[in-house]
Amino acid sequence: MSLTTHSSQDRVFTILGIETSCDETAAAVIRLCGDKTEVLSSIIDSQIARHAPFGGVVPEIAARAHVDSIDGVIAAAMTAAGLRYSELDGIAATAGPGLVGGVMVGLSAGKAMSLGLNLPLMAVNHLEGHAVSARLEADVPYPFLLLLTSGGHCQLLEVRGIGQCLRLGTTIDDAAGEAFDKIAKTLGLAYPGGPALEQLAVGGDPDRYPLPRALLGRDGCDFSFSGLKTAAARIAITLSEDPQRRDLAAGVQAAIARQLAERTERAMLQYGQGLTSGDKRFVVAGGVAANRVVRAALQAACAKHGFSFAAPALRYCTDNAAMIALAGAERLRLGLIDGLDVAARPRWPLDAAAALDQPIHKLSRKGAKA
């Protein structure tokens, strides 16, 4: 149950953040004072080596690895920050969305520390962590237009503040990062596939192979990458030489960047109506935000429509606990704290009203997207 108390803009908040939503066990300590954030530590224990033989994340392996690592990662974050536990003002832990077994590990650790240290607990939406990640090292005031694009999520959102997100568009099938990873796997690239595909694409001809352009002429700001993924996979199995594979990788990367930019431009036209140039702020966050071609396409869109461009530092694009700690600090500053009965959630939309009104994942569907 969430409790709302008074707001405190001037107080300094020192928060421990815990992130375990997928395949990285992370803990971080940040200090928030006004609009200034200082990252005192950020520790990440990656599970890439454990999942690489399977070509993707295995939920059971991820959950067990989180159990093995969580205590040590938290201790390392506190040591790196040079703080005692008594100097913390609160505990922030990811409560979803994500692989629920892993989420439960981090949230349980956060609950235990909250209880044992008598500190407030902030159960953070992982997507809200990404939403504020650009604010870790830059002055990015609310509101702003956000493209959240990662392995599991692809959404355009109007971010008015903590707990105030309006969904403008979302993927109707696969996320951009999922397309990167699965096409990379078809090309025989090592896990994680997204960075490997970006590296392979260097010097390739993006126009060599015809690839579909999804949702052309369709109103709204939704995304679709399923058709691109299927078409690229069919081409990939026919290729045997590196120059051909390089050209396909370049084409896939360009197609993903183009769609992200096209749909973002639609959102800019919708969001920017009536705003002055100083209020037109655009942020891209999530793992795909680290891709150089994607960033360049989005920066061009911003220049075209008069928006400022902001993105987290590369180390904060992928999953990390500093963004969770910052979201927790902003929630604590507003008096938004949670009880120990808060539950881990495999799905947790930032805009619950939009998710109910226009559901993407329907109960009648079967498989991963159900």
pLDDT tens-digit series, residues 111-125 = 999 999 999 999 999
At residue 53, what is the residue type?
P
Sorted by where each begins, the domain ranges of the chain are 2-136+316-357, 144-311
- Tell me how far apart the alpha carbons of residues 76 and 224 are, in angstroms, rounded to a whole number: 40
The token duo for 367 is: 């498989």
The token duo for 221 is: 């700001």
Helix, strand, or coil (residue 126): helix
Q: What b/e string do you get for 132-154 counting C-beta neighbours within 10 Å, with b at 16 or more? A: bbbbbbeebeebbbbbbbbbbbb
- Quick count: other Cβ atoms within 10 Å of Cβ 45? 18
Preceding peptide of 53 cis, ω within 30° = no
Residue 53 burial (C-beta neighbours within 10 Å; 0-12, 13-18, 19+): exposed
- Tell me how far apart the alpha carbons of residues 248 and 207 are, in angstroms, rounded to a whole number: 9
* pLDDT at site 25: 98
Equal fold, 2-136+316-357 vs 144-311: yes
| Residue segments in the chain with a per-residue pLDDT below the cut of 50 | 1-7, 363-370
Quick one: fold of 144-311? Nucleotidyltransferase; domain 5 (3.30.420)
The number of angstroms, rounded, from the C-alpha of 335 to the middle of its chain's C-alpha atoms is: 24
pLDDT tens-digit series, residues 48-107 = 999 989 888 999 999 999 999 999 999 999 999 999 999 999 999 999 999 999 999 999
> In the chain, what are the helix, strand and coil shares in percent, each to the nearest 5?
45, 20, 35
Cβ-proximal residues to 352 (8 Å cutoff; 6+ apart), any chain: none
In CATH, the architecture of 2-136+316-357 is 2-Layer Sandwich (3.30)
* pLDDT at site 267: 97
* pLDDT at site 107: 98
Instruction: Return the percentage of the chain with pLDDT > 70, whole number.
Output: 93
**Residues facing residue 156 across a β-bridge:** 147, 169
Helix, strand, or coil (residue 49): helix
- Tell me how far apart the alpha carbons of residues 119 and 10 are, in angstroms, rounded to a whole number: 19
* pLDDT at site 6: 43
As a residue count, the chain comes to: 370
The token duo for 208 is: 């060599």
Among residues 11, 3, 13, 17, the alpha carbon closest in space to that of 113 is found at 17
Q: Are 33 and 139 in contact (CB under 8 A)?
A: no
- Tell me how far apart the alpha carbons of residues 260 and 32 are, in angstroms, rounded to a whole number: 32
